[in-house]
A and B are shown apart, each in its own frame.
Chain A
């Protein structure tokens, strides 16, 4: 989506390895979000950020951490990846009371 870049778009890794996904925005939005999407579950919020260095947990935050050192970048880290974290990860940006806009996702496979 315009203004939101997720990297990498695809990744395969092994159980127990650390993984970092990056979300970059050019819209200067205050809020950024990480979701995961699994069959039968829709999108579930992992973590979100409401400003530089301001982050909080979402619905499914166990096993994940985030960092936001500057407005445009929001990083999602799996400290020690597990097979249950195989999913498609989406980043979104927003301004609070307006609709969120999503990136095109990162497909992560953990073997």
Chain B
């Protein structure tokens, strides 16, 4: 079936650098995408989302880019800090707000390690 995947399972950066985490999705009908951060022993925490009628959305230190042509999603973290170290998941939803009941399909995750 359709699934969401990641290009890189691990990413190691220096404090202060910018980080880019990538995600490929295969369901061209997906219309809502979310990035989550998961720290050890905790549940996934919402970071930022984007709908398919947009190609970029910015939050505080984070930006999500959506390229529907190549079915690619990325999360950019500016001035990465040690507290950003975690596992990052992308998730997709088909027909958000319609009859999908908000069901999400998750990628496998990328481990981000930030070195002081």
Taking CB as reference atom, which chain B residue is nearest A41? B108
Task: Report whether B32 and A43 are in contact in the complex, using a CB–CB cutoff of 8 Å.
Answer: no
Is B96 in contact with chain A by the CB < 8 A criterion?
yes
Distance in Å: Cβ of B75 to nearest Cβ of chain A: 14
Contacts A97-B96, A99-B34, A99-B46 given: A45-B41 contact, CB under 8 Å?
Answer: no
Contact with A along B61-104 (1 / 0, CB 8 A): 00000000000000000000000000001010000110011111
- Residue with the greatest number of chain B CB neighbours at <10 A, chosen from A98, A99, A103: A99
Give every chain A residue within 8 A of B105 (Cβ-Cβ): 45
Task: Report whether A100 and B107 are in contact in the complex, using a CB–CB cutoff of 8 Å.
Answer: no
Of the four ranges (under 10, 10 to 19, 20 to 34, 35 or more), the interface on chain B belongs to 20 to 34
Task: Report whether B43 and A100 are in contact in the complex, using a CB–CB cutoff of 8 Å.
Answer: no
Q: Once bound together, how far apart are the Cα atoms of A21 and B107, in whole Å?
A: 25
Distance in Å: Cβ of A47 to nearest Cβ of chain B: 11
Task: Report whether A45 and B46 are in contact in the complex, using a CB–CB cutoff of 8 Å.
Answer: no
The main secondary structure of chain B at its interface with chain A is loop
- The count of residues in chain A whose C-beta lies closer than 8 Å to any C-beta of chain B is 28
Taking CB as reference atom, which chain B residue is nearest A49? B101
Taking CB as reference atom, which chain B residue is nearest A45? B103
Taking CB atoms and an 8 Å cut-off, the chain B residues in 27-50 that contact chain A are 32, 34, 36, 41-46, 49
Q: Which of B46, B49, B89, B102 contacts A43 (CB 8 A)?
A: B89
Task: Report whether A48 and B103 are in contact in the complex, using a CB–CB cutoff of 8 Å.
Answer: yes
Give every chain B residue within 8 A of A105 (Cβ-Cβ): 41-43
Is A74 in contact with chain B by the CB < 8 A criterion?
no
Q: Once bound together, how far apart are the Cα atoms of A97 and B99, in whole Å?
A: 10
Taking CB atoms and an 8 Å cut-off, the chain A residues in 49-67 that contact chain B are 50, 56, 58
A-B contact pairs, 29 of them (CB 8 A): A4-B43, A31-B102, A33-B102, A41-B108, A42-B109, A43-B89, A43-B106, A44-B106, A45-B105, A48-B103, A56-B101, A58-B103, A90-B43, A90-B44, A94-B102, A96-B97, A96-B100, A97-B32, A97-B96, A98-B102, A99-B34, A99-B46, A101-B46, A102-B43, A102-B44, A102-B45, A103-B43, A104-B42, A105-B41
